[in-house]
Amino acid sequence: MSSKTVYNITDASPTTAFENPVRAGHYLLPANSTEITPPEFNVNTHTCLFNGTEWVVTEIPVTEPEPTPEHVPAMEQLRTQRDQLLRDTDWRMTKDYPYADQLEWEDYRFELRELPQRIANGEVPAPTLNENGMLVFDEWPLKPGEIA
């Protein structure tokens, strides 16, 4: 049984068509293939697609790499985390808070609110960013009950 080269219509890659065993001289084309030879093209920079009548070679657009996002400044990240810590303790400031440590939580929240000013005054070391742009800061006030 003889064969011949045919081409995939979506990428112009060669494939094989085999002779029809019932009809000599006729070939059974694989799905999505054509006998029309595609033009020369660079597969790294172009696409080649058969539209049913002819091959269409199109240049692959060059995409610019995504710019590296700038890291959120350390103080902005600190304030965001500080604000979340304050929100996490809001419930402890209600009049019906049932535990005896409410004053300790008020002090903790006060220290959180004062933290940016203490950093600005040089009383607390300023936060930094690691190589991934994540906050590095080890001077958070201790929560009531935490041990240093």
pLDDT, one tens digit per residue, over 28-52 is 999 999 999 999 999 999 999 999 9
List, for the chain, all residue ranges whose pLDDT scores fall below the cut of 50.
none
Burial 97-132 (b: 16+ CB within 10 A, else e): eeeeeeeebeebbeebeebeeebeeeebeebeeeee
The overall pTM is greater than 0.75: no
